[in-house]
């Protein structure tokens, strides 16, 4: 089912490219990303520049969840929504992560997780206890292309940031679209790290 869903997404994207007269560029981009993803395994680390952070668009329904009990069952893959299994959510909450979701017309449109440095001792670089890492930012297929994920990131950052603490995120080097999105929100890259790796990184090598 996942493969069929992926093929359907690619077909829809290709259809949009054909209508826009950009099929050649679309196929070239897909091929480039596919090849690069197999070769380039490093991650880029980003730190939020809080002076660049702006509020999300008006009307965004952003919800914060600290435990699974408040989460609607339609978020889970068992409901046929295309999300992750319920156990996956339970594991993230057990790790003291907080879930943020954008909701439209009763449906979950985008998700992201935020976890503190205190609960994440083995990230790419040493973290302070009050630092926070954003991860697993995803948009449901039906809601892609509307800027919901960046707005949800903005809402979460504004609510979660603390004085004297960093907000961080990592992204694969080859994922240029995700990198642009994070940079647009206000993140600035400060290092690249090998894929080995959820382990402390001393920052002396691989800096951008």
pTM equals 0.77
Question: What are the backbone dihedrals phi and psi of residue 195, each rounded to the nearest 5 degrees, phi first?
Answer: -75, -5
Instruction: Write the DSSP assignment of 132-153 as a string of letters.
Output: EEEEEEEE-GGGTTSSHHHHHH
Q: Are 116 and 128 in contact (CB under 8 A)?
A: no
Predicted local confidence at residue 76, as pLDDT: 92
Q: How far apart are CA 79 and CA 17, in angstroms?
A: 32
What residue ranges do the domains of the chain occupy? 1-39, 40-193
Class of domain 40-193: alpha beta
> pLDDT tens, position by position, for the chain (208 residues)?
333 334 344 444 544 444 445 666 656 555 555 555 556 789 999 999 999 999 999 999 999 999 999 999 999 988 776 678 999 999 999 999 999 999 999 999 999 999 999 999 889 999 999 999 999 999 998 999 999 999 999 999 999 999 999 999 999 999 998 999 999 999 999 999 987 655 543 433 332 2
């Amino acid at each position: 089912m996942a493969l069929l869903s992926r093929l359907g997404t690619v077909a829809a994207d290709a259809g949009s490219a054909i209508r826009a007269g950009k099929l050649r560029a679309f196929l070239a981009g897909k091929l480039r990303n596919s090849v690069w993803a197999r070769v380039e395994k490093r991650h880029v680390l980003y730190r939020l520049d809080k002076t660049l952070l702006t509020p999300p668009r008006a009307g965004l329904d952003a919800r914060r969840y600290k435990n699974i009990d408040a989460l609607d069952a339609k978020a889970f893959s068992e409901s046929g929504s295309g999300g992750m299994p319920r156990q996956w959510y339970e594991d993230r909450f057990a790790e003291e992560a907080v879930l943020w979701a954008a909701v439209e017309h009763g449906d979950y449109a985008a998700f992201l997780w935020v976890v503190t440095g205190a609960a994440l001792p083995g990230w790419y670089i040493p973290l302070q206890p009050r630092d926070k890492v954003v991860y697993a930012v995803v948009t449901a297929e039906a809601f892609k292309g509307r800027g919901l994920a960046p707005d949800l990131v903005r809402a979460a950052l504004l609510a979660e940031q603390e004085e004297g603490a960093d907000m961080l995120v990592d992204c694969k080097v080859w994922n240029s679209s995700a990198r642009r999105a994070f940079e647009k929100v206000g993140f600035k890259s400060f290092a690249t790290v090998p894929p080995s790796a959820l382990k402390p990184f001393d920052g002396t090598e691989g800096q951008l």
